[in-house]
Structure 1
Amino acid sequence: MAHSLAELVFIPAPGVGHIMSTIEIAKLFVSRDHRLSVTVLIIKPPGSSSGSAITTYIESLAKDNMDRISFIELPQNEIPKTVASKGQLQTFMDFVQNHCIHVRNIVADKISRPGSSRVAGFVIDMFCTCMIDVANEFNVPTYVFFTSNAAFLGFQLHIQTLSDDQNQDIIQLSLSDTEIPVPGFVKPVPTKVFPTVVQNKETVDVMVSTGRRLREVKAIIVNSFLELETHAVESLSSDNTVPLVYPVGPILNLERGSSKPSDDNIIRWLDNQPPSSVVFLCFGSMGSFDEVQVKEIAYALEQSGHRFLWSLRKGAPGMISTITSDYEDPGVVLPEGFLERTSEKGKVIGWAPQVEVLAHRAVGGFVSHCGWNSLLESLWFGVPVATWPLSAEQQLNAFEMVVELGLAVEIKLDFKKCVFNPKETILIKKEEIESGIRRLMEDDSVRTKVKKISEKSRSTVVEGGSSYASVGSLIQDFIRNIS
Structure 2
Amino acid sequence: MGVHVLLVPWSAQGHLTPVLQLARVLACNPEFLITLVLNARASARVESASSALPRHHSIKVQVICDGLNPDPSHTPSMDDVVASVPIMQQNLQTLVGDLMASPHPVTCLISGTFCYWSKSVARAFNIPRVELWSSPAFIYSIGFFHHRLIEEGLVPLKGQRSNTWITGIPGLPPMKATEFVKELTPTEEEIQADPEKVPRMLKRLQNTYSEARDQYRILVNSIYDLESQSFDALCEEQVHAYAVGPLFLHNVGVDASNQRFTEPRTSLYKEDRSCLQWLGSRAPASTLYVAFGSDSRMEKQDIQELALGLEASGHNFLWAIRPGSIVGDLSVADVLPEGFEERVANRGLIVSWAPQTDVLSHSAIGGFLSHCGWNSTLEALWMGVPILGWPQRADQGVNQFFIREVWKVGLAVEMDEDSKVSRISIEKAVRLLMVGEEGSLAREKVKEVKKLMLKVTNDGGSSRRNLDQFIQDLYHLAQDRCST
For the residue of structure 2 that corresponds to 1:433, the secondary structure is helix
Deviation at 1:58, TM superposition (A): 9.6
- RMSD value, Cα: 3.1
Residue 393, structure 1, aligned to residue 389, structure 2: no
- C-alpha change, 1:183 and 1:479, in structure 2 (3 Å) is farther
Partner of 2:316: 307
Partner of 1:227: 225
In 2, the alpha carbon distance for the partners of 1:281 and 1:479 equals 43
Partner of 1:181: 167
Query: TM-score, structure 2 length as denominator?
Result: 0.83
Partner deviation per Cα, 1:159-208 (whole Å, 9 max, x = no partner): 04545xx3857333697642233445452122222223212322343124
Residue 256, structure 1, aligned to residue 238, structure 2: no
Note the 1:53-452 alignment, pairs <5 A.
53-54=45-46, 56=48, 61=53, 66-78=56-68, 88-113=77-102, 116-163=103-150, 166=151, 168=153, 170-172=155-157, 177-183=163-169, 185-198=171-184, 199=186, 200-201=197-198, 202-237=200-235, 239=236, 241-252=237-248, 254=261, 255-256=263-264, 263-313=272-322, 315=324, 327=332, 330=333, 332-412=334-414, 426-442=419-435, 443-452=439-448
Residue 480, structure 1, aligned to residue 476, structure 2: yes
Partner of 2:24: 27
In 2, the alpha carbon distance for the partners of 1:271 and 1:5 equals 47
Partner of 1:458: 454
Deviation at 1:34, TM superposition (A): 1.0
Partner of 1:12: 9
Deviation at 1:213, TM superposition (A): 3.0
Paired-residue identity, % = 27
In 1, the alpha carbon distance for the partners of 2:225 and 2:91 equals 40
In 1, the alpha carbon distance for the partners of 2:377 and 2:307 equals 23
In 2, the alpha carbon distance for the partners of 1:65 and 1:266 equals 26
Query: TM-score, structure 1 length as denominator?
Result: 0.83
Give the structure, 1 or 2, with the largest relative contact order (CA under 8 Å, sep 6 or more).
2
Letter in 2 for 1:103: L
Count residues in correspondence. 444
Identify which range, 310-319 or 352-361, moves more after superposition. 310-319
In 1, the alpha carbon distance for the partners of 2:48 and 2:341 equals 35
For the residue of structure 2 that corresponds to 1:99, the secondary structure is helix
For the residue of structure 1 that corresponds to 2:247, the secondary structure is coil
For the residue of structure 1 that corresponds to 2:453, the secondary structure is helix
Identify which range, 264-273 or 123-132, moves more after superposition. 264-273
Instruction: Say whether the 8 Å CA contact 2:286–2:316 is kept in structure 1.
Output: yes
Q: Which sections of structure 1, spanning at least 5 residues, go unmatched?
A: 80-86, 416-424
- C-alpha change, 1:433 and 1:121, in structure 2 (3 Å) is same
Partner deviation per Cα, 1:347-392 (whole Å, 9 max, x = no partner): 2222222111101011000000111111111011010000001112
- C-alpha change, 1:269 and 1:65, in structure 2 (3 Å) is closer
For the residue of structure 1 that corresponds to 2:403, the secondary structure is helix
Deviation at 1:445, TM superposition (A): 0.9
In 2, the alpha carbon distance for the partners of 1:310 and 1:412 equals 20
Partner of 1:84: none
Deviation at 1:158, TM superposition (A): 1.2
Partner of 1:420: none
- C-alpha change, 1:317 and 1:118, in structure 2 (3 Å) is closer
Instruction: Say whether the 8 Å CA contact 1:156–1:208 is kept in structure 2.
Output: no
